[in-house]
Chain A
């Protein structure tokens, strides 16, 4: 066992992390993945090292190991055996020029500002091609028809049928990871990693900083973070159901879910002044408390939300015209989902039981556990229905937590004098509404973060969308896309 063992939200000293050769590290990863561990992070640093973090979901353990860059910058690729690793290897190649020998499709991921091969641009990188007399390609984007983020989709079709979809992203690259380096307490930046997952990313960031700084936060602050995270989940999921309804021209659903979502995110505004939870979480705790009168107001609103969501969903999920579009559309089977490493509701809809809240419980979820839910069909219906189930679960969780808020106050411990642990490696995971959100920081001898790594669940799941549309009619693409609802900027960073 050449791994350092750690847990979610804990810090390791760099000297305690085994440093192997790249060949050894790859062999160790293969052995662990064979046993069922999941790849959480696999990234390089400017200091010429590669770090790997694997998750053992059954015993809530994280395994960390490192390796120096190989001299010839080549190592045996693992993608053929473990397809989930394909994006990590591509990223490592793009950022540091390490070549995974035998990788089937070593294309760039986000064409970042700092890349090892600056001559490789979006224009010069070829697309996957399919040969045949009547094959045609459909190119969509980067600017899409709706008010959404940019990305390019290239479909390879025969008639209406999609054989493959290549998703090329990178348009959203803002250099977020580099902006975190050298600075502390950048919560506002964390809030903008993905503006729809503010709480998920900011709590992961705050957990990382707190673990490096040895800061404890109050139980009440933990409860408020969990409440905000579940409200974010419920709010976005409700919006997603509305968007799904809209995509199948079920306008009643679109209107009702749209209005219901407003109630949830306005309740978040009531707590912290922002409909998306900005300004709520800071290292050391939370900035706003939820007072007695607010508790009453939010409870009453969420009761109504729950009632409306159940009424609307039971109606929508028994409407034949909706079901005929949802069912058996965009299927990702369980085997495939596990192979390509789907996380979050998209994975759970295919029957892959991954949920950081219960697998690697943190914060409030250690005291009030959350029950994992999965479905099996892996189609648009499953991804929609699991959202409905999660909305109810989240609303119940908020209701329970907000009625029994711990009484130890939200006083933040002062952070300005805190020294972050030097020469350390901290990793934190949260379960955002999209799934596993991971932040990792490496500090130098002065305690300054020299490498900051972010992984949005979209990083895994975009490939799931490409798989889901295979064999479907191209007109079902918007529906499949919305059923995943992935982040462009979370991927592009």
Chain B
């Protein structure tokens, strides 16, 4: 310790005395104040955040059929033309399509509650408003609500996730988002878990471990896919290094889009699914 102290003094980086002041931690605590978001369900993300996509009414008409710039630039092949739709299960929310469109027919709102219980619902067409989407996207199941409504313990498996979704899932439990207030937590073992949260496109090398984790989780259990990679392979969908058989084999209960998924999207999605 002395050597380090000496080093710190020599390099002139010390500001105050390094010796402990017993009141110092209290000072830090006072400065910290209250950090949690009081009403997390009412929280909104600042503009420029790219959430729920909103194609214009004119999208997909005759002009678009010839232009197709948005389809060409989309790295995740999320856009379909007839009828025009953006698939949030593939979309990485990069915003390139909105920028490239010569007619400005695509925009992304900052609405973040994009989770859905059925894969097809993630496809957003022209006439879909955020409110209409929210109203139908999540189907609450009575059995799930009864079992997990007051306590849901999840085992997270990163199957070739890039650490973006993983960091955001960690952030769900920090002092700001404090997901634990709803009784939702990540646990260390699948044996303690009520469900599995998968991130990443599921690499071949990770597929057996994912299967093991699933088998080790006691029934009844749920499976949640988080992020474009897990839901559709995202920008890695064409890679031969993936093995996504798991998703055909087992039922998926909840899809939460994003790249990465924002903590508010995850928390609001799971809460809505639990009916709380």
Q: Tell me, rounded to whole Å, the shortest Cβ–Cβ distance linking A187 to chain B.
A: 8
Q: Is the CB of A276 within 8 A of B164?
A: yes
Cβ–Cβ < 8 Å partners of B162 in chain A: 192-196, 489
Cβ–Cβ < 8 Å partners of B7 in chain A: 375-377
Number of A residues contacting the other chain (C-beta, 8 Å)? 77
Instruction: Indicate whether A311 reaches chain B with its CB closer than 8 angstroms.
Output: yes
Instruction: Indicate whether A365 reaches chain B with its CB closer than 8 angstroms.
Output: no
Give the size range of B's interface with the partner: 35 or more
Q: Is the CB of B94 within 8 A of A143?
A: no
Q: Is the CB of B170 within 8 A of A147?
A: yes
Within the assembled complex, what's the spacing in Å between the Cα atoms of A318 and B13? 14
From B60-68, B121-129, B236-244, B267-275, the one touching the partner chain is B236-244
Given the interface pairs A150-B159, A195-B165, A376-B7, the reply to whether A310 lies near B174 with Cβ below 8 Å is: no
Q: Is the CB of A327 within 8 A of B19?
A: no
Instruction: Indicate whether B85 reaches chain A with its CB closer than 8 angstroms.
Output: no
CB under 8 Å from chain A, chain B span 220-276:
229, 234-236, 238-242, 259-260, 262
Q: Which has the most chain A C-beta neighbours within 10 Å: B7, B29, B94? A: B94
Cβ–Cβ < 8 Å partners of A256 in chain B: 28, 32
Q: Is the CB of A269 within 8 A of B48?
A: yes
Instruction: Indicate whether A174 reaches chain B with its CB closer than 8 angstroms.
Output: yes
Q: Tell me, rounded to whole Å, the shortest Cβ–Cβ distance linking A237 to chain B.
A: 13
CB under 8 Å from chain B, chain A span 369-415:
373, 375-377, 381-382, 385, 389
Instruction: Indicate whether B132 reaches chain A with its CB closer than 8 angstroms.
Output: no
Q: Is the CB of A148 within 8 A of B158?
A: yes
Q: Tell me, rounded to whole Å, the shortest Cβ–Cβ distance linking B236 to chain A.
A: 5
Q: Tell me, rounded to whole Å, the shortest Cβ–Cβ distance linking B38 to chain A.
A: 14
Given the interface pairs A171-B209, A188-B92, A269-B46, the reply to whether A147 lies near B158 with Cβ below 8 Å is: yes
Instruction: Indicate whether B54 reaches chain A with its CB closer than 8 angstroms.
Output: no
Instruction: Indicate whether B20 reaches chain A with its CB closer than 8 angstroms.
Output: yes
Cβ–Cβ < 8 Å partners of B46 in chain A: 266, 269-270
Q: Which has the most chain B C-beta neighbours within 10 Å: A175, A195, A315? A: A195
Q: Is the CB of B99 within 8 A of A145?
A: no
Cβ–Cβ < 8 Å partners of B174 in chain A: 255, 258-259, 262
Cβ–Cβ < 8 Å partners of A112 in chain B: 241
Within the assembled complex, what's the spacing in Å between the Cα atoms of A191 and B86? 21
Q: Is the CB of A272 within 8 A of B48?
A: yes
Specify which of A174, A287, A314, A375 is in contact with B239 (CB 8 Å cutoff).
A174
* Per-residue A-contact encoding for B1-26, CB less than 8 Å = 1, 0 else: 10110011001010110111100110
Q: Is the CB of B205 within 8 A of A273?
A: no
* Per-residue A-contact encoding for B168-208, CB less than 8 Å = 1, 0 else: 11110011100000000010110000000000110111100
Cβ–Cβ < 8 Å partners of A315 in chain B: 24-25, 27-28
Q: Is the CB of A179 within 8 A of B206?
A: no
Specify which of A147, A193, A272 is in contact with B169 (CB 8 Å cutoff).
A147
Q: Tell me, rounded to whole Å, the shortest Cβ–Cβ distance linking B6 to chain A.
A: 10
* Per-residue B-contact encoding for A269-307, CB less than 8 Å = 1, 0 else: 111111110110010000110000000000000000000
Within the assembled complex, what's the spacing in Å between the Cα atoms of A191 and B236? 12
Q: Tell me, rounded to whole Å, the shortest Cβ–Cβ distance linking A208 to chain B.
A: 17
Q: Which has the most chain B C-beta neighbours within 10 Å: A193, A258, A282, A492? A: A258
Instruction: Indicate whether B95 reaches chain A with its CB closer than 8 angstroms.
Output: yes
Q: Is the CB of B235 within 8 A of A143?
A: no
Q: Is the CB of A489 within 8 A of B163?
A: yes
Specify which of A149, A179, A191, A375 is in contact with B161 (CB 8 Å cutoff).
A149
Q: Is the CB of B32 within 8 A of A195?
A: no
Cβ–Cβ < 8 Å partners of B229 in chain A: 192
Given the interface pairs A173-B203, A188-B235, A192-B235, the reply to whether A148 lies near B27 with Cβ below 8 Å is: no
Q: Is the CB of A287 within 8 A of B99?
A: yes
Q: Is the CB of A279 within 8 A of B164?
A: no
Chain B residue with Cβ nearest A272: B48
Cβ–Cβ < 8 Å partners of A385 in chain B: 4, 8
Cβ–Cβ < 8 Å partners of B93 in chain A: 274, 278-279
Q: Which has the most chain A C-beta neighbours within 10 Å: B18, B171, B234? A: B171
Within the assembled complex, what's the spacing in Å between the Cα atoms of A198 and B94? 13
Instruction: Indicate whether A323 reaches chain B with its CB closer than 8 angstroms.
Output: yes
* Per-residue B-contact encoding for A180-193, CB less than 8 Å = 1, 0 else: 00000011110111
Q: Is the CB of B15 within 8 A of A314?
A: yes
Instruction: Indicate whether B156 reaches chain A with its CB closer than 8 angstroms.
Output: yes
Cβ–Cβ < 8 Å partners of B235 in chain A: 179, 188-189, 192
Q: Is the CB of B209 within 8 A of A143?
A: yes
Q: Is the CB of A174 within 8 A of B201?
A: yes
Q: Is the CB of A171 within 8 A of B205?
A: yes
CB under 8 Å from chain A, chain B span 46-84:
46, 48-50, 75-76
Q: Is the CB of A278 within 8 A of B262?
A: no
Specify which of A176, A279, A318, A487 is in contact with B19 (CB 8 Å cutoff).
A318
Cβ–Cβ < 8 Å partners of A492 in chain B: 160, 203, 205
Q: Tell me, rounded to whole Å, the shortest Cβ–Cβ distance linking A239 to chain B.
A: 8
Specify which of A196, A239, A279 is in contact with B50 (CB 8 Å cutoff).
A279
Q: Tell me, rounded to whole Å, the shortest Cβ–Cβ distance linking B114 to chain A.
A: 15
Within the assembled complex, what's the spacing in Å between the Cα atoms of A256 and B242? 39
Cβ–Cβ < 8 Å partners of B16 in chain A: 314
Interchain residue pairs with CB less than 8 A apart (19)? A147-B158, A170-B205, A172-B160, A172-B206, A176-B239, A189-B235, A195-B165, A195-B167, A258-B176, A273-B50, A274-B50, A279-B95, A318-B19, A323-B1, A373-B11, A377-B4, A377-B7, A382-B4, A492-B203
16 A-B pairs besides A150-B206, A273-B95, A385-B4 with CB distance below 8 A are A150-B159, A173-B160, A174-B236, A189-B75, A193-B162, A195-B161, A196-B164, A256-B32, A259-B176, A262-B171, A273-B48, A275-B260, A318-B19, A375-B7, A389-B13, A489-B162
Chain A residues near B (Cβ < 8 Å): 111-113, 122, 142-143, 145-150, 170-176, 178-179, 186-189, 191-196, 198, 239, 252, 255-256, 258-259, 262, 266, 269-276, 278-279, 282, 287-288, 308, 310-312, 314-315, 317-320, 323, 327, 373, 375-377, 381-382, 385, 389, 487-489, 492
